Amino acid sequence: MHEDLTHLKYLLIEIESDITACNIMSANAKLNDKVPLRIKIISMGNAEVGKSCIIKRYCEKRFVNKYLTTIGIDYGVTKVTLQERDIKVNIFDMAGHPLFYEVRNEFYKDTQGAILVYDISDRGSFTSLDRWLEELNSEINNKTEVDSIVVCVCGNKTDLKRQVDESEGQLWADSHGFHFFETSALTGEGVNELFQVLFEGVVRTCENGGKREPIAIQLGYTKEQIEAIQRLKNAKNDYERLGLYPGASKDDVNKAYRKLAVLLHPDKSIAPGSEDAFKLLVTARTALLKRC
Ligand SMILES: Nc1nc2c(ncn2[C@@H]2O[C@H](COP(=O)(O)OP(=O)(O)OP(=O)(O)O)[C@@H](O)[C@H]2O)c(=O)[nH]1
Ligand SMILES: [Mg+2]
């Protein structure tokens, strides 16, 4: 294994010099629209979330059912045309497995765009997003450079039974100023839109002298509301739904009810799922009061 990784590193150094050349060219390209703009994109996210499949779906319009883990890194180039301008996209598809950290850490430098992928049917991959962001920050180790990267957060495998609600993913992405998409590499849903927005964002950043444009956030709901909706939906019993311990008093029940009702009343809350959560809240309160 160790020998394999050493070999990979040599290979990576070669690609790395190619990318440095790309960056010099992209600076020139700003002066001349006829020269193709070269951009560097990376993929991040836990092993098996579908990073390689999303890229394959976009570039080759096909889906690979069998899991072939990426060994260290996969490199590919694709060409796109945006507003009559040719763009050469260098894609560095990273391996998500911790074993390959020593290989992929070489590749964060000079990144202009990233897809940060989780699997909506695997909550663990969603909670790992913070860790991936930490890795990006610590490898680039320059806040201005990190802030210039256009990031598209991607909840993949929408064709499977979900463990992570769309609103949770949207909220996480919004809270970091990132774009958000849900995709299925299997059906192709959302994949073209994801890359279109990513490439457009990177090109605009280049034209803007390397400064990323802020994303308009129109959320209108809070993390507290999303967490309350999740708890009402997923709790094992009515006490848990209201955030109470078994045997809570009538007063406790009413107090907890009022707090949640203010948070989730459908007339006031636009958080997705508020209406159903509010119904669950009313039913839970009625059932608990009968027991007090
Ligand atoms: N049902 C379903 N399966 C998917 C989807 N995308 C990927 N998969 C499957 O998930 C598994 C992992 O996909 P990969 O694209 O290899 O995952 P990866 O994130 O590149 O994994 P590493 O390279 O190990 O980091 C494969 O078996 C794919 O067929 C999807 O949208 N829906
Ligand atoms: Mg892969």
Residue count of the chain, please give it: 292
Render each residue's pLDDT in the chain as its tens digit; 292 residues. 444 454 454 455 455 544 444 444 444 445 456 678 899 999 999 999 999 999 999 999 999 899 999 999 999 999 999 888 899 999 999 999 999 999 999 999 999 999 999 999 999 999 999 999 999 999 999 999 999 999 999 999 999 999 999 989 998 998 898 999 999 999 999 999 999 999 999 999 988 888 888 876 667 788 889 899 999 999 999 999 999 999 999 999 999 999 999 999 988 888 888 999 999 999 999 999 998 8
**Taking the CB of residue 149, how many other CB atoms lie within 10 A of it?**
22
User: Is any atom of ligand 1 closer than 6 Å to the C-beta of 104?
Assistant: no
User: Is any atom of ligand 1 closer than 6 Å to the C-beta of 139?
Assistant: no
Q: Indicate the helix (H) or strand (E) that contains 116.
A: strand 113-119
CA of 52 to the centre of ligand 1 (A): 7
What residues contact 196, with CB distance under 8 A and at least 6 apart?
none
CA of 80 to the centre of ligand 1 (A): 24
C-alpha angle 146-54-196 in degrees, rounded to nearest 5: 60
CA of 24 to the centre of ligand 2 (A): 28
Amino acid in position 26: S
Q: If you take atom 30 of ligand 1, which residue's CA is the nearest one?
A: 157
Give which of 166, 170, 151 is closest to 121, Cα–Cα: 166
- Return the best residue to mutate from 8, 42, 53, 107 for the ligand 1 pocket (most ligand atoms within 8 A of CB): 53
- Return the best residue to mutate from 42, 43, 67 for the ligand 1 pocket (most ligand atoms within 8 A of CB): 67
What is the model's pLDDT at position 216? Answer: 67
Cα 203 from Cα 100, distance rounded (Å) = 30
User: Is any atom of ligand 1 closer than 6 Å to the C-beta of 50?
Assistant: yes
What is the model's pLDDT at position 222? Answer: 86
Give which of 203, 199, 194 is closest to 58, Cα–Cα: 194
CA of 67 to the centre of ligand 1 (A): 6
User: Is any atom of ligand 1 closer than 6 Å to the C-beta of 96?
Assistant: yes
What is the model's pLDDT at position 217? Answer: 65
Cα 130 from Cα 177, distance rounded (Å) = 14
Give which of 164, 150, 57 is closest to 120, Cα–Cα: 164
Give which of 127, 132, 190 is closest to 158, Cα–Cα: 190
Cα 134 from Cα 196, distance rounded (Å) = 26
What residues contact 108, with CB distance under 8 A and at least 6 apart?
42, 135, 136, 139, 140
Produce one character per residue of 62-80: b if its CB has 16 or more CB atoms within 10 Å, e if not: eeeeeeeebebbbeeebeb
CA of 226 to the centre of ligand 1 (A): 28
